[in-house]
Amino acid sequence: MPAAPLGDRAAAWSRATIELVTILTEAETEFPLSESAASKRAAVLTLLGNPARLRLVTAMYLSPYSTVTQLSEDIGLSQNRVSSLLGSLRRARIVEYEMIGRSVHYRVSDEFARAVVAATLADD
C-alpha cells in the first residue's frame, strides 16, 4: 500500500489523538479493573495482537463503513482472508456491519479497540 500523502497522515494522526484523549477522559474506568472488564479487554488485546487483524481494524478506523473489497485493497490481503478476519472480529463484537444496498459496510464498534488503534496511530 503506498504511503498516504503527508496531509492525510497528519489529519488521521490528529483525529486519532483527539479520539484517544476523548475516550480516555470520558471513560468511567474502575480501579482496579473488575474481572469481567479485564477479561473483555484482554480478549480485545489478544485479537488485536495478530498483525493482520490490527491492520484490518486500523483500516476500518481510518475509513469507517468500508467494504471487504476496499479493506482487501487497503491492507493487501485477499478478500477471503479479510472476510475470515472480519468473522472473528464480528464474533468478538469489535466490529459491526451495515447493509447499504447490496453491499456490506464494516466499522469498528468497540470503544476499547478504537482507543488501542488510536494509540498505535499516535505512536507512529
In a domain, 30, yes or no: yes
C-alpha distances (whole Å) from 86 to each of 27, 38, 54, 57, 105 are 26, 23, 11, 9, 11
* The predicted structure's pLDDT at residue 2: 47
In a domain, 16, yes or no: yes
* The predicted structure's pLDDT at residue 106: 97
* The predicted structure's pLDDT at residue 37: 87
Confidence of residue 3 (pLDDT cuts 50, 70, 90): very low
In a domain, 87, yes or no: yes
* The predicted structure's pLDDT at residue 34: 87
Structurally, the chain folds into a number of domains equal to 1
pLDDT at residue 9 greater than cutoff 70: no
C-alpha cell at 88: 472473528
pLDDT tens figures, 39-62: 999 999 999 999 999 999 999 999
Using the structure block, give the residue that is written with the C-alpha cell 464498534: 109
- Residue 68 domain boundaries: 6-123
In a domain, 57, yes or no: yes
Distance (Å, whole) CA 19 – CA 17: 5
In a domain, 1, yes or no: no
pLDDT at residue 23 greater than cutoff 60: no
CATH number (domain holding residue 100): 1.10.10.10
